[in-house]
Structure 1
Amino acid sequence: METRKFEGIRTVILDYDGTIHDSTKNYIFAFKQAYEYLVAGGHAASRVWQDEEITKWLGYSSQAMWENFMPDLDEEVRAHASKMIGRILLEKAQTGQAVLYEGALETLQALKEKGYRLVFLSNCSRAYMEAHRESFGLDRCFDGMYCTEDFGFIPKYEIFETIRSVFPGGYMVVGDRFQDIEVAEHHPVRTVGCRYGFGFPGELDSADALIDDIRDLNDLL
C-alpha cells in the first residue's frame, strides 16, 4: 500500500457502521420488524427482502433513508417505523449484541499510540452513539465523537467544519459509503474507502486508498 500520500495526517475521522461496527445482522432484523409493521398496517406490500437490499441503507441518516426508501409514506407512520428501527438497534447495543469488526479496537489503539487524533463521525442518533460509547468503551479510542442528529442530519462534509475548528490538520476520512468519501469534494482531506462495508461497486472509486480490513489502516499510517 502507498503511504506517501498520507504524510502529514494528524487527525483521522472515522465512520462507524460498516467501518468499525458490523451492523449487518442487527440492522436487517430491525428493518424487517419495521417493514412487518408497515405491511400489517396496509402501508406496504408483503415481500421477501434480500440482505443487500436492506444493508444498502446503512450509512444514511434515518431521515435520508426514509426519504429515499418510501418518500410518499405518511409522516406519522414513517416516524413510528423509524423509531422502531432505532429502538431495536439501541436495545441490541445496550444488551451486548452489537459486534465490531475483528481488530477494530486494536487498530484504533495502535493509531492513538502513534499520536493520531481520532474522531468518530456517524449518521446516527445521539442515543445510538452513547450506547455504543458505553458498550465498547469508545472514549478510550476517540478524542471526539460526533453524530449527525446533533447537527440536524446535515451532510458530513458540513459537520467537518466543526471538526476542523477543534482538531489539527491534515485530515483523513475513513468510511464505507459515498457520504464519507464526498467530504474530499468540499475540503482538502485524504480519504480511505472500506470495501468490506456496505457500499456499492464503484461508490468508493474516488478514495485515495481502499482497504479490505480495518486493520489495513494501521499499514497506511
Structure 2
Amino acid sequence: MAESSKKCIIEDVKTIILDFDGTIHESIKVYGPAFRKCYRFLVDLGCAEEKEWADGEIARWLGFTKEEMWKDFMPDLDTDIRHKAGGMIGKEMNSLLSGGKGVLYHGALEVLEGLKKRGYSLVFMSNCSVKYRDMVTEVFNLDRYFDHIYSSEEFGFIPKDEIFRMVSGSLKPGFAMVGDRHKDMEVGVGNDVCTIGCLYGYGNSEELKDADRLINDISELLEIFK
C-alpha cells in the first residue's frame, strides 16, 4: 500500500463512508453457502476437484469484485461456465437474504442510527453488484441511515479510491472511510480521508496496517465519532 501524506483529524469528519461486507454485514453467513453450492456445480461439471471449504478459506474473497474473485480462484475456467457459476452465487446470496438468513454485526444498525443522529452524513460503498446492493438495502432498510448507497458495478467495478474521487464532489467535505480490507484503506491514500480499519472483518492486520485507527467491534465507531 502506498504511503499517505494525509493528516487525519477526526474532529473535521462530516461524512463517514462505510464498506458493507465485513464491516456492517457478517456476509459469510450467506456467501459461504452460496459459494459451496457453486463449487458443487463446478465439481459436477468436472471443472473442480472434491473439496470441503472452510469459512475462513471462502472469506478471503469477500470484498473482491466478482472479476477479481474469479481471476484469483479459477483464472482458467471457461468464460461461459464462470458467468453461470458467478450468477449462481449472486442468485443464491439474494435468495438467502430475502429468506432472512442475512446477519449484521451485533449492534450495527444502532451504530448507524447513532452516527446519523450525531449529524454525520453516511455513505455506503461496496464492491458489489447493483442487485445485491438493492437486496441488502431492502432487507435491512439501509436507506433509513445512508444518504448515498453506491455499488461498484455502477462504476464498472473500478477501485473504491477511484469511485471516491468521482463522487466526493457531491458529498459533505471532511471524510472518513471505514472498512476491513486494503481496498478500503486505499481510499485514504492521497485523498485526505481518515481510515478506520475493522479487525473483526475478513481482512488481516497487514491489510490494515496503514489505517489511522483500528477497531475490534463496530460499536467502537461511536467512541471515535462523538
Query: What SS does the corresponding residue of 1:169 show, helix, strand or coil?
Result: coil
Cα displacement (A) at 1:22: 0.6
TM-score by structure 1 length? 0.96
In 1, Cα distance between equivalents of 2:97 and 2:54: 24
Query: Tell me, what secondary structure is at the counterpart of 1:56?
Result: helix
Contact 2:13 / 2:174 at 8 angstroms: preserved in 1? Answer: yes
The SS at the match of 2:77 is coil
Q: 1: distance between equivalents of 2:214 and 2:167?
A: 23
Counterpart of 2:61 in 1: which secondary structure? coil
Partner residue, 2:191: 187
Structure 2 residue matching 1:7: 3-state secondary structure = helix
Code of the residue aligned with 2:83 in structure 1: it is A
Deviation >6 Å, runs of 4+? none
1:14 aligns with 2:18: yes
Give the Cα separation in 2 of the matches to 1:70 and 1:186: 33
The structural deviation recorded for 1:67 is 1.0
Pair 1:112-2:104 in alignment: no
Contact 1:19–1:176 under 8 Å retained in 2: yes
Query: The residue matched to 2:12 in structure 1 has which SS?
Result: coil
Alignment of 1:71-90 (within 5 A): 71-90=75-94
Q: For 2:93 and 2:190, locate their aligned partners in 1 and report how far apart those are by CA, in whole Å.
A: 31
Per-residue CA distance 1:22-45 (angstroms, 9 max, x = gap): 111211111111111111101111
Percent of aligned positions that are identical: 47
**Aligned Cα root-mean-square deviation (Å):** 1.1
The total of aligned residue pairs comes to: 218
State the alpha-carbon separation in 2 of the partners of residues 150 and 67 from structure 1.
20
Letter in 2 for 1:32: R
Tell me the equivalent position of 2:208: 204
Query: Which structure 2 residue ranges, 5 or more long, are not aligned?
Result: 1-7
Match of 1:39 in 2: 43
Structure 2 CA distance for aligned equivalents of residues 127 and 51 of structure 1: 24
Once residues 35 and 191 of structure 1 are traced to their aligned partners in structure 2, the CA distance between those partners, rounded to angstroms, is 35
Match of 2:165 in 1: 161
Aligned mates of 1:208, 1:74 — CA distance in 2: 42
Please tell me whether the aligned partners of residues 157 and 186 of structure 1 are also in contact (alpha carbons under 8 angstroms).
no
Cα distance in 2 for partners of 1:118, 1:154 equals 21
Instruction: Map Cα deviations across residues 137-173 of structure 1 (whole Å, 9 max, x no partner).
Output: 1111000000001111110001002321111111000
Aligned to 1:136: 140
Note if contact 2:29-2:101 (Cα within 8 Å) is conserved in structure 1: no
Q: Which runs of 5+ in 1 are unaligned?
A: none
Partner of 2:69: 65
Structure 2 length-normalised TM: 0.94
Cα distance in 2, alignment partners of residues 48 and 136 from structure 1:
31
Aligned to 1:91: 95
